[in-house]
């Protein structure tokens, strides 16, 4: 499928971190983007409205403040637009928050996702690209994580809902020949990032001279992936919708006889938590006050993405080092907070 610029692209979660950057890129490329976001208060809505204000400068952008669980609203949106693709990034995010408010994850990540799938099916959307997560790898210990690995042992409700998204997408691909592509994101960071993520939280605390919580005594690794590299991957797969393959041997969860695919989007270069902190310290110019704690329920010790599959179809190769990425984030943080 070659994406036609005459078709509209729906980006759910368009005022969120990744959704904002994806919508911005598509708009700059000349596409017409319809944004959807419920602007909830999981973190400061002011940050979401600030992102949104930048998108609203584009004449080829329209925005709807609504929830993906609103059946009538979403049907009306699909009825009035011919979507050449849907990029579904709206979700209840956060591993730890799923311990406090599990119902929010069922409402958004399960029921809301079914609503998106149903409308893509009924209005024959040419390609649905949706957000999964590296969290699905759960108790897997062999790294780098491969899409060929089993993901049957998630350790958070958030991860379980993301695996459920992959399973439901396969059902719709199989029954209705709906092309779906699931993207397993690995710890995305960068300008306009989420305040509940480590890079933002650590930067904020170091500037303020406040202690940061360092879990598992700092003995953790994350495959930090810069937002610009992630956007390249998302935009790259839009024109790479899978075709049905009746000869698929069903040995990998990442492929299917249906038009269904899964890809990791990561950096393939995990960073030790203590190295991340020292990089932020050097960039900010202040030392962190650290509060060492035991590992939290639902946390994974290490993540690392095998990105061979994505590289094979779009030559995906992250370009941003952790040092450069942190510099760009801190520069944005200081500007946004007028420091």
- Answer yes or no: 172 catalytic: no
Instruction: Say if residue 116's pLDDT is above 70.
Output: yes
pLDDT class of 3 with cuts at 50, 70, 90: low
Which pTM value belongs to this model?
A: 0.96
pLDDT class of 2 with cuts at 50, 70, 90: low
The candidate with the shortest Cα–Cα distance to 47, out of 194, 189, 187, is 194
Cα distance between residue 260 and residue 10, in whole Å? 19
Burial of 215 (0-12, 13-18, 19+ CB in 10 A): middle
Is there a contact between 253 and 218 (Cβ–Cβ < 8 Å)?
Answer: no
The candidate with the shortest Cα–Cα distance to 47, out of 207, 198, 193, is 193
Cα distance between residue 192 and residue 22, in whole Å? 12
Is there a contact between 138 and 162 (Cβ–Cβ < 8 Å)?
Answer: no
Is there a contact between 214 and 273 (Cβ–Cβ < 8 Å)?
Answer: yes
Please state, for a pLDDT cut of 90, what percent of the chain lies above it. Answer: 93
pLDDT class of 300 with cuts at 50, 70, 90: confident
Which two three-digit tokens encode residue 50? 């600030």
Q: Which tens digit of pLDDT belongs to each residue from 208-218?
A: 999 999 999 99
Geometric angle at alpha carbon 193, from 53 and 313, rounded to 5°: 100
C-alpha 76: how far from its chain's center?
26
Identify the CATH number of the domain defined by range 8-186+225-266+305-318: 3.40.50.720
C-alpha 194: how far from its chain's center?
11
pLDDT class of 331 with cuts at 50, 70, 90: very high
Instruction: Say if residue 59's pLDDT is above 80.
Output: yes
Q: Which tens digit of pLDDT belongs to each residue from 19-46?
A: 999 999 999 999 999 999 999 999 999 9
pLDDT class of 297 with cuts at 50, 70, 90: confident
Instruction: Say if residue 327's pLDDT is above 60.
Output: yes
Catalytic residue among 42, 97, 158, 333: 158
């Amino acid at each position: 499928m070659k994406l036609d610029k005459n078709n509209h692209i729906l980006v759910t979660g368009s005022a969120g971190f990744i959704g904002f950057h994806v919508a911005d890129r598509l708009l700059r490329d000349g596409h017409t983007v319809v944004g959807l976001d419920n602007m909830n208060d999981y973190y400061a809505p002011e940050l979401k409205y600030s992102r949104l204000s930048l998108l609203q400068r584009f004449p080829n952008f329209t925005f709807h403040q609504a929830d993906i669980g609103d059946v009538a609203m979403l049907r009306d949106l699909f009825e009035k637009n011919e979507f050449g693709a849907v990029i579904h990034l709206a979700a209840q995010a956060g591993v730890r928050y799923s311990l406090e408010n599990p119902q929010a994850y069922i409402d958004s990540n399960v029921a809301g996702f079914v609503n998106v799938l149903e409308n893509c099916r009924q209005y024959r959307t040419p390609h649905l690209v949706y957000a999964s997560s590296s969290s699905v790898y759960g108790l897997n210990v062999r790294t780098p994580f491969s899409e060929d690995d089993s993901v049957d042992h998630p350790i958070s409700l958030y991860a379980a809902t993301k695996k459920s998204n992959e399973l439901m997408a396969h059902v719709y691909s199989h029954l209705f020949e709906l092309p779906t592509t699931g993207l397993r994101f690995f710890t995305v960071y960068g300008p306009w990032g989420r305040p509940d993520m480590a890079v933002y939280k650590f930067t904020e605390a170091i500037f303020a001279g406040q202690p940061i919580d360092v879990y598992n005594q700092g003995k953790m690794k994350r495959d930090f992936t810069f937002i610009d590299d992630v956007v390249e991957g998302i935009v790259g797969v839009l024109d790479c919708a899978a075709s049905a393959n009746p000869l698929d041997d069903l040995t990998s969860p990442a492929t299917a006889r249906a038009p269904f695919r899964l890809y990791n989007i990561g950096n393939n270069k995990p960073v030790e938590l203590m190295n991340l902190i020292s990089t932020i310290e050097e960039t900010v110019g202040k030392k962190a006050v650290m509060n060492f704690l035991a590992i939290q329920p639902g946390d994974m010790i290490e993540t690392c993405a095998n990105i061979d599959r994505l590289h094979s179809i779009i030559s995906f190769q992250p370009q941003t080092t952790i040092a450069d990425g942190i510099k760009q984030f801190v520069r944005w943080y200081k500007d946004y907070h007028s420091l």
